[in-house]
Structure 1
Amino acid sequence: MDVTVSAAGDAGPWMLTDLLGRSMGRVVETQPAAFAIEPDGFAVQTMEGCHLGPHRSLDAALAEIERHTRGVCRRGPAPPSDRPEPDATPSVETP
């Protein structure tokens, strides 16, 4: 089963969804360098028997999900920023 992994914020949890967009839970940093997998919804049964953590890194947690589901974790789009987009057109001042 392939999983899309998206950051919920700058330092927030990593959200897990399947390819249909259904929530599979999240990966949270419970302590510095300690990441836990928190299954949600139908993924609770899918993740049964999976080592939920703690894992030493986000990559280690995602590798465990890949190993257990025999799938691939893909990086999803970044969350929308609260900051406005900078103007792409440079302003030119005329004397």
Structure 2
Amino acid sequence: MLTDLLGRDMGYVEDSGAGKFTVHPAGHALKTMENMRRGPFNSLDDALAEIERFTRGTCRRLCADERSGRSD
């Protein structure tokens, strides 16, 4: 899943198998990523790097505890 810093849905990155990843923008990202290359990418890191390059933002991966809001 992709979200912005406000927690809004920005789409997702799909693992299509065989080491191919595709970016599927949604919500506010539809316009922002309209002309961006969406894949296939050889790794998740490559897909996130393209999002960073195109949007001039930073992508970071959250662990399961951070996504669920758990702190224990």
Aligned to 2:60: 74
Secondary structure of the 1:73 match is coil
RMSD between superposed Cα atoms in Å: 1.5
Which amino acid in 2 is paired with 1:21? Answer: G
How many residues are matched?
A: 67
- Listed as ranges, the gaps of 5+ residues in structure 1 are 1-14, 81-95
Distance in 1, matches of 2:42 and 2:62, equals 22
Distance in 2, matches of 1:40 and 1:32, equals 24
TM-score (norm 2): 0.85
More helix by share: 2
Secondary structure of the 2:60 match is strand
Q: Which consecutive aligned stretches of 4+ in structure 1 deviate over 6 angstroms post-superposition? A: none
More strand by share: 1
For 1:27-46, what aligned pairs fall within 5 Å after superposition? 27-46=13-32
Query: Shift in Å at residue 49 of structure 1?
Result: 1.1
TM-score (norm 1): 0.65
- Listed as ranges, the gaps of 5+ residues in structure 2 are none
Distance in 2, matches of 1:30 and 1:50, equals 19
Between the two proteins, what is the percent identity of the paired residues? 56
Larger Rg: 1
Secondary structure of the 1:63 match is helix
